[in-house]
Amino acid sequence: MNDRLNPNSELEQSIVSVPDLAQVPEEFLNMAQQFQEAMMMYTCAIREVKTKIEVLNDELSVRNSRNPIEMIKSRVKKPRSIVEKLRRRGLEVSLESMIANLDDVAGIRIICSFLDDIYAVADMLVRQDDIRVIAVKDYIKNPKPNGYRSYHMIVEIPVFFSDRKKPMRVEVQIRTIAMDFWASLDHQLKYKKEMQNAAEISEELKQCADVIAQTDKRMLEIRQQIEAQGITVRRD
């Protein structure tokens, strides 16, 4: 398997953790233990989905002689971000409101090599009989106005605890390496609105997004041309 998916890697060790009491926002302090338990459940849901993705990647690596997935990133939304998002939407700040209204508390990002890998991985994931698809947004075929491209799914998966089975929702984003690099810059720009040339940079990013889309498409075509000659494209 690709070393980037090694469960002992720094990425895998550092992504998800249950907040301690010092990290629990004051809005949740009256139910701090319940909040910690909910975060633990979301962390477990991420593990369940990640395991499925890693199994698929291993299988495809053997069957197709190449890894379609470059990297898996994941995170549980920070407590303060949860509070801010609920307030931004005009929703009650409570544990019940978080569980009922926020589908992206647990998030997984899958970085793929080629465009067709995105749809292949998504299709194989949702065909598993214990996965329920809640929503799909294809920002690759229908990019956002700023140029953002990615394939988003909200899925629900059962997680087994000591005394119950709990359906948990996880947001899954699937994109190419170039899309992910672009999105990281766009994310930084969103928090730098005081920049005098923010509008110019935003427009330049939009142009880069269009170039990236064409490059991703062309790279897929080149790979397909190579494979048509009976040569397998793979990484050592």
Q: Write out the catalytic residue numbers.
A: 171
Q: Where are the alpha helices (DSSP H) in 75-197?
A: 79-88, 95-101, 115-126, 177-190
Backbone angles phi, psi at 231, to 5 degrees: -105, 125
Q: Give the position of tokens 């929503």.
A: 135
What burial class does residue 117 get, using C-beta atoms within 10 Å of its C-beta: 0-12 exposed, 13-18 middle, 19+ buried? buried
